[in-house]
């Protein structure tokens, strides 16, 4: 019997784990992301990066570092829009990806090379702990919902329990881990997910980067909702982890498993490193603030109406208040 956090980690990153091999994202995959919806997602991030350099917060030779880049589409979109907005920066900026799987590194290098040839030099790191930079823009799209987590539940006797898994069956036992117990007391969690694995990651970033801007997008909210959000995605079908008759064994390592991110806890980890410049927002508000509407105006002035309307429809999906626009949240951190 293993703790759920280990089961979760093995599901995604173990031998033949879900993320150990390239997976399609979008119509032919198990789920959609903002990256697969519109290139203007990466374009708006590019505009934010350019603004941070122009205002003097980041150096013009800073490193744009993506963590967990999958195929490399997002970084490529960022590069393409930087070329559109401020092409001279491509001669000074550095580009890097943190990716643990060698086969995905090969895919990413291939895609960036096919897109830009020798113009872009891409460096890979196997782990964030290897990266030490004076200046960086760190981009992390939907990574925290793939950090391992524990499942906790307070029973009728007011005893905190956590999940263990045996033969793909989840059972709850009394929790003896004081770190989990104290975390649940601090944040008032009686039921749901606890992802203590964020801590080492945030500490590493704060210690290894002298000046940085960190931007992450993910499902979740400020406060834990005191319910289970853990779920499995397969071919655009969503299965709550405790759905009746759900066959975890058949889904194990063949589909994506995820949960909602607790953003207040994530913010507190940066605060604990004496970083106070943090901004939490919805994806809708963040993309508008970063300049996505201005990018559409540039597009409108340079393409035919049919192309403009097609791209506008894609952007609407990113911003839809009842969909991606509100469901995804962002945390923007500056040191």
Answer with the residue of higher pLDDT: 28 or 62. 62
pLDDT at 24: 53
Residue 125 has pLDDT above 80, yes or no: yes
Q: How confident is the model at residue 21 (pLDDT cuts 50, 70, 90)?
A: confident
Distance (Å, whole) CA 214 – CA 133 = 13
pLDDT at 68: 87
pLDDT at 33: 64
Distance (Å, whole) CA 307 – CA 302 = 10
Structure tokens at 120: 């872009």
Distance (Å, whole) CA 70 – CA 59 = 27
The secondary structure of the chain, three-state, reads CEEHHHHHHHHHHCCCCHHHCCCCCCCCCCCCCHHHHCHHHHHHHHHHHHHHHHCCCCCCCCEEEEECCCCCHHHHHHHHHHHHHCHHHHHCCEEEEECCCHHHHHHHHHHHHHHHHHHCCEEEECCHHHCCEEEEEEEEECCHHHCCCEEEEECCCCCEEEEEEECCEEEEEECCCHHHHHHHHHHCCCEEEECCCHHHHHHHHHHHEEEEEEEEEEEEECCCCCCCCCEEEECCEEEECCCCCCCHHHHCCCCEEECCEEHHHHHHHHHCCCCCEEEEEEHHHHHHHHCHHHHHHHHHCCCCHHHHHHHHHHHHHHHCCCCHHHHEEEEEEEC
Task: Round the average pLDDT of the chain to a whole number and report it.
Answer: 94
Q: How confident is the model at residue 32 (pLDDT cuts 50, 70, 90)?
A: low
Residue 23 has pLDDT above 90, yes or no: no
Q: What is the pLDDT of residues 267-296, one digit of tens each?
A: 999 999 999 999 999 999 999 999 999 999
Q: What is the CA radius of gyration of the chain?
A: 20
pLDDT at 31: 43
Residue 22 has pLDDT above 60, yes or no: no
Q: What is the pLDDT of residues 98-124, one digit of tens each?
A: 999 998 999 999 999 999 998 999 999
Q: Are strands 277-282 and 328-334 parallel, antiparallel or unpaired?
A: antiparallel
Name all domains of the chain by residue range, CATH numbers in brackets. Answer: 24-146+197-327 (3.40.50.12710)
Place of tokens 């509407």: 293
Separation of CA 40 from chain center: 17
Q: Are strands 328-334 and 209-221 parallel, antiparallel or unpaired?
A: antiparallel
Closest C-alpha among 197, 274, 178, 209 to residue 62: 209
Q: What is the pLDDT of residues 161-214, one digit of tens each?
A: 999 999 999 999 999 999 999 999 999 999 999 999 999 999 999 999 999 999
Q: What is the pLDDT of residues 210-265, one digit of tens each?
A: 999 999 999 999 999 999 999 999 877 899 999 999 999 999 999 999 999 999 99
């Amino acid at each position: 019997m293993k703790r759920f956090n280990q089961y979760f980690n093995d599901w995604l990153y173990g031998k033949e784990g879900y993320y150990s091999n390239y997976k399609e994202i979008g119509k032919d995959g198990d789920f959609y992301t903002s990256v697969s919806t519109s290139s203007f997602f990466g374009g708006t991030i590019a505009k934010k990066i350019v603004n941070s350099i122009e205002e003097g917060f980041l150096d013009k030779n800073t490193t744009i570092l993506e963590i967990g880049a999958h195929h490399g589409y997002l970084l490529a979109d960022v590069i393409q829009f930087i070329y559109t907005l401020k092409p001279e920066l491509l001669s000074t900026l550095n580009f890097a990806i943190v990716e643990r799987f060698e086969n995905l590194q090969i895919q990413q290098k291939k895609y960036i090379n096919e897109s830009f040839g020798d113009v872009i030099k891409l460096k890979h790191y196997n782990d964030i702990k290897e990266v030490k930079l004076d200046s960086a823009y760190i981009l992390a799209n939907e990574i925290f919902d793939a950090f391992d987590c524990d499942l906790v539940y307070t029973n009728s006797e007011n005893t905190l329990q956590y999940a263990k898994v045996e033969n793909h069956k989840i059972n709850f036992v009394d929790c003896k881990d004081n770190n989990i117990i104290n975390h649940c007391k601090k944040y008032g969690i009686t039921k749901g997910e606890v992802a203590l694995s964020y801590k080492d990651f945030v500490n590493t970033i704060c210690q290894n980067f002298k000046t940085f801007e960190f931007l992450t997008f993910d499902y979740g909210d400020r406060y834990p909702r005191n319910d289970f959000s853990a779920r499995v995605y397969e071919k655009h079908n969503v299965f709550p982890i405790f759905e009746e008759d759900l066959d975890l064994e058949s889904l194990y390592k063949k589909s994506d498993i995820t949960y909602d991110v607790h953003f207040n806890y994530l913010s507190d980890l940066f605060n604990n490193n004496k970083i106070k410049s943090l901004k939490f927002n919805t994806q809708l508000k963040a993309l508008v603030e970063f300049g996505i509407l201005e990018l559409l105006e540039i597009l409108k002035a340079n393409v035919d109406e049919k192309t403009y309307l097609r791209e506008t429809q894609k952007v609407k999906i990113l911003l839809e208040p009842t969909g991606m626009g509100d469901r995804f949240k962002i945390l923007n951190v500056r040191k």
